[in-house]
């Protein structure tokens, strides 16, 4: 990544910075950066530019960027919205490498703002200047005093320095995470407020830091998924270096997605698409603010589990069963099982003289407050083959004897399995000790469960595929769609095309009753058009049905259909919907659902970036609740889920095909039978 390396220096280690529009009033937003930089001892040159004053806050002010003795590496543009374009243009002309823009009022504010944003992009293209923002509260590198920020929170004294890098769409959050991290014993290496991403994206900015030896993990606060290719590149680079990424993404609700649009001008896709994207990038997604701050050490310690592995099992070790159950509940709600140790494992407890009643929660009671008992129990559970992760829940002793209470956990930091500690009382000192030692530790049972779920759900990042390209989409008719299914190897119903003018039924290669569907690429909603007839029982009825259909469709749509498709009636144990599309935000996607009202009402579907392999397809099937109906429900036989999985894999491979390139393909329904699957309808649109 030569670009990334070139970007890093002016972005995060500039030799000189300019504060364009630095105010003389330290209390104003535009007055903050100079004092922050001075107080933090930033060693580079600092130039203030203010056309209306000779000095600001006691320092020399230059009238313009052109008047500066050198072109600074990085300019922070603090001027009002209307003056931003001119300031950035001046920086570009002068050879400034990075401009970070504070002002809002761009694409999020409608046509006028959108025009401003396009102007910014043009300046970047013309002059080579790179832009952070607009709406950026700034760029902070705590290792060199680069507090190039207007966020009020950075007036904080004694900001702790750590090894985590934080990038956020929201500028407020860089301050909030810094102050909340400080209280929780978590420090940062750097924090960047990304803003609207008109030029530099979260992915590019984070990629620029990947080879920093002082950074060993990333937190992201996302309002939407934008510039997904760069984000995926960054995620792959981070995975290659063993640097974990934890993300909190707003917009689980439709209401919040709508707000993301008004707030930053981003388009907001569906949340489960974003989830699938983040997961397939190997990014752990958490659902709460506390987990964003606390989850990284656990994600770092938890190996990615292979697709198709048995469901994860978590051991729960405690001195206080009442407190421990608070972790079980939110874990189980998220589908993670607290498992009872095996008979062998309990036998090892006995050997060590540890009293623990066989149960799901290993409750050492008060004996567990003794170092050697807790340490021995941790040793046994972290080496028991049945567990992927051990939760240690510590009671009152965490508050009164923080050192002793958590020392066995600290001394197990490098155990074979990750350990997550939850402290039942308020116990800031014990939490700080654990954090200092790099041990995953949690202040609330909910954040603990959130982080554990995210850590165990992490997947290997998938390499990006070249997105298929086409020359303008068209919808295939159903025969064309069937031909595509044939090429992909997805079984479909036999079908015969007949002219709508026939007066006698030909011999069919299958038995009656049959289904009749109008065959036209121009009629999207066949049922509404009167273009579907089912259970047609003989040749005479077939001719009559076709004649009526020709007339009804013509009357309803204005299109006279030339042909119909005739196929046998096929029934099965149940139905599935499988779909493929190139998503505007995240690229090729494959989806499976039960179809019908289940999918619409309950949003019960599973998504992955395409293509997928067979174990992944099986994992997808297991995520759809409605497929309980295909697993021997109420005495019915089971459907062939292998065949369903193979069909998902086949459809997902459209992501690798360019002839023709497919924008969208949906098989609905795919009939699931005991002996296989059969597509009985398909809709395909080329690119």
Q: Which residue's CB is nearer to its own copies, number 356 or number 493?
A: 356
Contacts to its own copies from residues 103-142, by CB under 8 A: none
Q: How many CA atoms lie within 13 A of 510 on its CB side?
A: 14
Cis ω on the peptide bond leading into residue 611 (within 30° of 0)? yes
Contacts to its own copies from residues 300-339, by CB under 8 A: 320-323, 325-326, 328-333, 337-338
Q: Which residue's CB is nearer to its own copies, number 224 or number 227?
A: 224
Q: Cβ 447 to its own copies, closest distance in Å? A: 9
Q: Which residue's CB is nearer to its own copies, number 15 or number 625?
A: 625
- 3-class DSSP state for residue 132? strand
Return the number of other C-beta atoms located less than 10 Å from residue 104's C-beta: 20
Alpha carbon distance 277, 296 (integer Å): 19
The two structure tokens encoding residue 335: 């589908």
Q: Cβ 114 to its own copies, closest distance in Å? A: 16
Contacts to its own copies from residues 625-644, by CB under 8 A: 625-626, 628-629, 633, 635
Judged by CB under 8 A, which of 37, 153, 390, 593 binds its own copies?
A: 153
Q: Which residue's CB is nearer to its own copies, number 139 or number 173?
A: 173
Q: Cβ 230 to its own copies, closest distance in Å? A: 21
Q: Cβ 400 to its own copies, closest distance in Å? A: 6
Q: Cβ 661 to its own copies, closest distance in Å? A: 32
Short-list 459, 455, 308, CA closest to 391? 455
Contacts to its own copies from residues 510-539, by CB under 8 A: 528
Judged by CB under 8 A, which of 272, 386, 411, 604 binds its own copies?
A: 604
To the nearest 10°, the Cα dihedral for 203, 206, 207, 211?
-170
Alpha carbon distance 276, 101 (integer Å): 32
Window contacting its own copies (CB under 8 A); options: 67-75, 199-207, 393-401, 471-479: 393-401
Sign of CA dihedral 197, 203, 208, 213: positive
Short-list 425, 396, 394, CA closest to 408? 394
Q: Which residue's CB is nearer to its own copies, number 329 or number 540?
A: 329
Contacts to its own copies from residues 606-625, by CB under 8 A: 625
Binding mask 485-514 toward its own copies (x if CB under 8 A, else -) reads ------------------------------
Judged by CB under 8 A, which of 355, 366, 465, 502 binds its own copies?
A: 366
Q: Cβ 352 to its own copies, closest distance in Å? A: 23
Is 378 near its own copies (CB under 8 A)?
no
Window contacting its own copies (CB under 8 A); options: 203-211, 303-311, 421-429, 465-473: 421-429
Alpha carbon distance 322, 528 (integer Å): 58
Is 9 near its own copies (CB under 8 A)?
no
Binding mask 166-205 toward its own copies (x if CB under 8 A, else -) reads --xxxxxx-xx--xx-xx----------------------
List of E strands, 493-561 = 496-499, 514-519, 532-536
Short-list 168, 176, 92, CA closest to 133? 168
Is 451 near its own copies (CB under 8 A)?
no
Contacts to its own copies from residues 43-102, by CB under 8 A: none
- 3-class DSSP state for residue 268? coil
The two structure tokens encoding residue 563: 């042909």
Short-list 171, 167, 151, CA closest to 159? 151
Window contacting its own copies (CB under 8 A); options: 198-206, 299-307, 454-462, 595-603: 595-603
User: Which DSSP helix (H) or strand (E) runs through 75?
Assistant: strand 74-77
Contacts to its own copies from residues 214-273, by CB under 8 A: 223, 250-256, 258-260, 262-263
Alpha carbon distance 432, 441 (integer Å): 9
Alpha carbon distance 626, 655 (integer Å): 27
Q: Cβ 331 to its own copies, closest distance in Å? A: 8
Give how far the C-alpha of residue 569 lies from the chain's centroid of Cα atoms, to the nearest Å. Answer: 41
C-alpha distances out from residue 562 to 517, 550, 554, 679, Å = 12, 8, 10, 23
Return the number of other C-beta atoms located less than 10 Å from residue 358's C-beta: 12
Q: Cβ 537 to its own copies, closest distance in Å? A: 16
DSSP 8-state class, residue 309:
P
Short-list 69, 193, 88, CA closest to 136? 193
Window contacting its own copies (CB under 8 A); options: 372-380, 534-542, 597-605, 639-647: 597-605
Is 370 near its own copies (CB under 8 A)?
no
How many residues bind its own copies (CB under 8 A)? The answer is 77
């Amino acid at each position: 990544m030569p670009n990334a390396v070139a970007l890093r220096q002016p972005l995060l280690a500039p030799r000189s910075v300019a504060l364009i529009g630095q105010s003389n009033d330290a209390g104003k937003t535009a007055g903050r950066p100079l004092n922050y930089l001075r107080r933090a001892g930033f060693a580079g040159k600092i130039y203030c530019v203010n056309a209306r004053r000779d000095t600001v806050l006691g320092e020399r002010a230059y009238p313009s960027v052109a008047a500066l003795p050198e072109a600074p590496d990085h300019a922070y543009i603090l001027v009002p919205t209307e003056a931003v374009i001119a300031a950035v243009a001046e920086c570009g002309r002068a050879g400034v490498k990075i401009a970070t823009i504070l002002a809002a009022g761009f694409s999020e504010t409608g046509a006028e703002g959108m025009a401003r944003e396009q102007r910014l992009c043009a300046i970047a293209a013309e002059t080579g200047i790179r832009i952070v923002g607009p709406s950026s509260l700034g760029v902070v590198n705590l290792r060199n005093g680069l507090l190039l920020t207007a966020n009020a929170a950075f007036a904080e004294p004694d900001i702790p320095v750590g090894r985590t890098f934080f990038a956020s769409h929201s500028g407020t959050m860089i301050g909030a995470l810094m102050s909340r991290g400080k209280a929780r014993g978590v420090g940062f290496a750097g924090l960047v407020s990304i803003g609207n991403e008109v030029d530099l994206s979260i992915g590019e900015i984070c990629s620029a830091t990947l080879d920093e030896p002082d950074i060993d993990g990333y937190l992201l606060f996302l309002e939407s998924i934008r510039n997904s290719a760069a984000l995926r590149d960054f995620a792959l680079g981070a995975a290659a270096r063993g640097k974990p990424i934890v993300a909190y993404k707003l917009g689980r609700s439709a209401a919040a997605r709508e707000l993301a649009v008004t707030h930053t001008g981003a388009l907001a896709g569906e949340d489960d698409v974003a989830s699938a994207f983040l997961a397939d990038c190997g990014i752990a997604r958490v659902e709460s603010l506390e987990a964003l701050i606390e989850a990284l050490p656990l994600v770092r310690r938890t190996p990615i589990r292979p697709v198709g592995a048995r469901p994860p099992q978590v051991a729960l070790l405690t001195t206080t069963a009442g407190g421990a159950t608070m972790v079980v509940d939110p874990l189980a709600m998220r589908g993670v099982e607290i498992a009872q140790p095996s008979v062998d494992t309990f036998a090892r407890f006995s050997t060590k003289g540890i009293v623990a009643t066989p149960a799901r929660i290993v409750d050492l009671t008060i004996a567990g407050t003794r170092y050697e008992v807790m340490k021995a129990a941790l040793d046994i559970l972290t080496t028991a083959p049945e567990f992927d992760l051990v939760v240690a829940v510590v009671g009152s002793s965490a508050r009164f004897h923080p050192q002793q209470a958590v020392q066995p956990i600290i001394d197990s930091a490098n155990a074979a399995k990750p350990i997550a500690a939850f402290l039942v009382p308020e116990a800031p000192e014990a939490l700080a000790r654990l954090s200092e030692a790099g041990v995953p530790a949690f202040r609330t049972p909910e954040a603990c469960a959130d982080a554990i779920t995210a850590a165990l759900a992490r997947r290997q990042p998938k390499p990006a595929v070249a997105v298929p390209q086409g020359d303008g989409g068209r919808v295939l008719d159903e025969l064309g769609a069937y031909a595509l299914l044939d090429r992909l190897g997805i079984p479909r119903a036999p079908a015969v095309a007949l002219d709508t003018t026939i007066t006698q039924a030909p011999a069919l290669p299958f038995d009656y009753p049959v289904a009749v569907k109008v065959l036209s690429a121009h009629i999207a909603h066949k049922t509404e058009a009167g273009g579907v007839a089912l259970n047609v029982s003989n040749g005479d009825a077939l001719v009559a049905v076709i004649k009526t259909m020709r007339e009804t469709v013509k009357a309803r749509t204005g299109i006279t259909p030339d042909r119909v498709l005739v196929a046998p009636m096929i029934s099965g144990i149940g139905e599935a919907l499988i779909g493929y599309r190139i998503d505007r935000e995240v690229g090729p996607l494959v989806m499976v659902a039960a179809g019908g009202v289940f999918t619409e009402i309950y949003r019960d579907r599973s998504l992955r970036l395409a293509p997928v392999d067979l174990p992944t397809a099986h994992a997808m099937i297991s995520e759809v609740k409605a497929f309980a109906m295909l697993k021997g429900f109420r005495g019915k036989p089971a459907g062939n889920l292998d065949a369903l999985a193979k069909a998902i894999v086949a459809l997902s491979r459209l992501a690798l095909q360019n002839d023709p390139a497919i924008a969208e393909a949906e098989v609905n329904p795919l009939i699931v039978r005991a002996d296989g699957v059969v597509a009985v309808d398909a809709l395909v649109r080329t690119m």
